[in-house]
Amino acid sequence: MKAVITVTGKDTVGIIAEVAGVCAKHSVNILDITQSVLDEYFAMIMLTEIDKLNVGFAEFANELSELGRSKNLDIHAMHEDIFNTMHHI
């Protein structure tokens, strides 16, 4: 199973490291990262594998949102199924 983590907000040092830290803590493997910075605006999409996730998905997603709030960023983890069902028949 995969999850997509999206991060948007003002660019600061160490955003990827922070998010990757939470992933590592919960045994979430990062498969791919796409990021862009436009006029100080940071947008990152991270594709992760959550088969070995050591907490409930809701808890993992909440921890990332919490991290986002503390850094003034918008961070969301969403299960891949929502993208698959919406965009693939």
Partner 1 sequence: MINTKDILETIQMIREENLDIRTITMGISLWDCVSDDPGRLCNNIYEKLTRKAERLVSVGKDIETKYGIPIVNKRISVTPISLVGGKSSPEDYLKIAKTLQKASDELGVNFIGGFSALVQKGMTEGAKNLISIIPEALTETRNLCSSVNVASTKAGINMDAIALMGKTIKRAAYLTKDDNSIACAKLVVFANAPEDNPFMAGAFCGVGEPDAVINVGVSGPGVVASAVKRAGNCDLSELADVIKKTAFKITRVGQLVASEAAKELGVPFGIVDLSLAPTPAVGDSVAHVLEEMGLERCGCHGTTAALAMLNDAVKKGGVMASSHVGGLSGAFIPVSEDAGMIAAAECGVLTLEKLEAMTAVCSVGLDMIAIPGDTSEEVIDGIIADEISIGVVNTKTTAVRVIPAYGKKAGDRVEFGGLLGYAPVMPVKTESPARLIARGGRIPAPIHSLKN
Q: Give the residues lining the site for partner 1 (CB under 8 A).
A: 2, 4, 6, 34, 45, 47, 57-58, 61-62, 74, 76-87
Longest pairwise C-alpha distance within the chain: 40
Q: Name the nearest CA neighbour of 43 among 68, 10, 81, 4.
A: 10
For residue 24, the minimal CB distance to partner 1 (Å) is 21
**Residue 38 or 86 with smaller CB distance to partner 1:** 86
**Residue 71 or 76 with smaller CB distance to partner 1:** 76
